[in-house]
Amino acid sequence: MSKETKKKTVAVAFGVCLVCSVLVSAAAVSLSGIQAQNKKLDRLKNILLAGDMFSKNVDIEQIYKENIDTQIINLENGSVVPEKDYNEKLDPQKFDIKKMADDPQYGKAIPADEDKTGIKRQPRFMVIYKVVKDGKVKKIILPVYGKGIWSTMYGFIALGEDLQTVTGFTFYEHGETPGLGGEVDNPRWKRSWVGKKAFDEKGNVVIEVIKGTVDQSGPKAESQIDGLSGATLTTRGVDNLVRYWLGKNGYGPYLANLRERGIK
């Protein structure tokens, strides 16, 4: 009698486990589409945030569609890839920075002495976003990424028509500690980027995120951002990634072309 009870107990436990695992797997599979859609929406929301076009209760996809033009650029020579050359991977709608960086054809290794952001590889091409109003480009929103203390941080920096002034800055993905490095999401800190000069008149990158607080009367105040307190390593990561992506291995050649030929 007692043997039979043990067997039954095991069988019931096994049955419950089986049913639960089937339920969990089914939930994971059925929710994966929703998760992917939410991730995409969050990315679009951050593009709008960087472009200062986001407010609560707006239809993100609609605002994005009405205001944003995408382009794929060749980071090495700064040219814009013509639409006829788009393919399965070179497609603004499907562009995946991580996959492109790892791709043998579309990505490349960064020499260790130039890898200030610790990302090891980067794409040769990048998708960029232009805010267009009445047929004129008002802002350019550029993806940026690099290592913090715990994670790779992915975000956007927006530049104004003068291609010099920062008009927005935001991260859409990172794993830094809430309250420390996670303060990269602090709206007040993100707003402090707006109006800062990213480049000098010659096009050299001058923006920097410093340790501590910017001396507002100092000669570099217009290009400096306060560091995050208690998060020197994340702060250094943000400084490195912004300077890297605005520099010669990032958008330098593309921005130089725009300065020469005009923003289109």
Binding mask 231-260 for ligand FMN (x = CB under 6 A): xxxx--------------------------
Whole-angstrom distance, CA of residue 229 vs CA of residue 189: 11
Member of 123, 155, 160, 181 binding ligand FMN (CB under 6 A):
181
User: Can residue 149 be called a binding residue for ligand FMN (CB under 6 A)?
Assistant: yes
47: Cα within 13 Å, side-chain hemisphere:
25
Whole-angstrom distance, CA of residue 92 vs CA of residue 139: 18
Phi, psi torsion values for 177, nearest 5 degrees: -70, 130
User: Can residue 71 be called a binding residue for ligand FMN (CB under 6 A)?
Assistant: no
User: Which one, 63 or 184, has the nearer CB to ligand FMN?
Assistant: 184
Q: 141-180 burial by CB neighbour count: b if 16+ within 10 A, else e?
A: bbbbbbbbbbebbbbbbbbbeebbbbbbbbbbebebeeeb
Q: How far is the CB of 231 from ligand FMN (least distance, A)?
A: 3
29: Cα within 13 Å, side-chain hemisphere:
6
Pick the stretch among 51-59, 100-108, 173-181, 256-264 that binds ligand FMN (CB under 6 A): 173-181
Q: How far is the CB of 153 from ligand FMN (least distance, A)?
A: 10
User: Which one, 155 or 252, has the nearer CB to ligand FMN?
Assistant: 155
Binding residues vs ligand FMN (CB under 6 A): 149-150, 176-177, 180-181, 229-234
